[in-house]
Chain A
Amino acid sequence: MSEGAPQVFSLADLYAIAYQIEADAVERYTMLAEQMEMHNNPELVGIFRDLARVERIHRDEIASAAADPDIVAHARKVAEWRSGESPEAVDLSEAHYLMTPRDALEMALAGEERAFEFYNRLSDAADPDVKRLAAEFVAEELAHVELCRSLLRRYPAPAPADRWIFEDPDLPVSQE
């Protein structure tokens, strides 16, 4: 993941990249909420909308802390992952119309862990401001990781023998 990640040359860069990370998360969770809505999984609609809302708050907090009026344009210039995607852009191929809250939270946890690793790699940055801010982000992502883990405890994994309960007995429909 790190070979494709963007370079951080300044504090402004780091803010812009952090902004993009959260913006990507908002976009993905919103897409997932819409998919769940289209596929009649209302519980997951709520969960993904909540996740999108939380990430939107993070994103906006970063924008105001950055005090950069052109942060969106700046992000587009510097926040480029050449291979793979930004850490919280969750992998849509992990979704499923029958996914459970636990599945969604595992997706979110993986994203937060990737974000934690990304900022962690910046903790030996040369620029002291970047280093300090990166450390703040590391702490924040760690808190997010902990939050996901505690939420996950509310949704224990079902025993493998019980998976049949969650299967769809109806066959897929041919639409064309």
Chain B
Amino acid sequence: MSATVPSPLRPHDYKSDVKPVWCPGCGDYHVLIALTRALAELQVPPEKVAVVSGIGCSSRIPAYTTCYGFHGVHGRSLALGAGLKLVRPDLTVVVASGDGDGYSIGGNHFLHACRRNVDMTYLVMDNHIYGMTKGQPSPTTEPDIDTALAPGGTGLRPFNPLVIALASGANFVARAFSGNPPETAGIIAEAVRHPGFSFVEILSPCVTYRPDQKAWKDRVHRAPVDATDDAARAARRLMTDDGFNLGVLYRGNRQPYRPHGNEQIGELAELEKEFEL
């Protein structure tokens, strides 16, 4: 490294030596590649990035990066990440989750994270199944997929997370596909740059429990329309979303959340005045 010009960070600077337990063929390997590329594009030092996750295969990602990480409990990664960002606005906070962790047990926190609009980026690796616990349906599983907990299929309409994110106030909404790492990297970088709560749903096939998802690479396609900053227009576009539209849907203009602050006092002793007799 030269003393005057620091050498630029490269994607492999963000990848740790820890060998993933992900099954070979898992889409999450490409997501890891995309994330490291995005961080390299942003040139943010790894020590200034925090990757916060919940429980599930996708949530193993923090240890596979050289950033600060927190592998939290199931479904609560958004709360963890928000707390961190509120005390440390200088950090780049990336929250990572899966469709089970993020939309099922984490569903409530998802609504409120979109609403609260803290400046952080939420990546959900969606494989339409609970992978880590042996293949139960998730909120995005198709209604006819046969599983042990829902024999014959759930018969339930899957969530559309983009609709929920938009309706709840997320400031940036996009969908990517792990099978195209450079595009995914670009979307992640843009999501991080965009202020407020940025949500990126990343379709990421599960090679073990959903081998049928190999067909996804033929189903994904660029969204037929451009991104918009008009929530109503974005909502109309979602009406025809087949779940495989890729790209940025919405870039909003909400101000990121700032906690309410009182005027700071000079001395702590001032606080005692109200008790004085």
Contacts and interface: CB of A to CB of B under 8 A. Distances in A.
Interface string A145-169: 0000000000000000000000000
Contacts of A176: 55-56, 132-133
Contacts of B25: 92-97
A121 interface: no
Contacts of B10: 76
A34 B24 CA distance: 10
A159 to B, nearest CB: 21
Contacts, number: 71
Interface in A29-68: 31-32, 34-39
B222 to A, nearest CB: 9
Contacts of B29: 31, 35, 92-93
Interface residues of B, number: 32
B27 A93 contact: yes
Contacts of B260: none
B181 A174 contact: no
Task: Determine chain B's interface SS by DSSP, over half rule.
Answer: loop
Interface in B165-207: 178-183, 205, 207
Interface residues of A, number: 31
Nearest to A171: B134
Nearest to B134: A174
B209 A99 contact: no
Q: Report, nearest first, the 5 A-B pairs whose CB atoms are least far apart.
A: A95-B24, A35-B24, A174-B134, A92-B29, A38-B19
Interface of A: 4, 27, 31-32, 34-39, 73, 76, 80-85, 91-97, 99, 171-172, 174-176
Given A93-B179, A94-B25, 20 more contacts: A27-B12, A35-B24, A36-B24, A37-B19, A76-B8, A83-B180, A83-B182, A85-B182, A92-B30, A93-B25, A93-B29, A93-B214, A95-B25, A96-B25, A97-B23, A97-B25, A172-B135, A175-B132, A176-B56, A176-B133
21 contacts: A31-B29, A34-B19, A35-B19, A35-B20, A35-B24, A80-B182, A81-B182, A83-B180, A83-B182, A83-B183, A91-B179, A92-B24, A92-B29, A93-B25, A93-B30, A93-B179, A93-B205, A96-B24, A172-B135, A175-B21, A176-B55
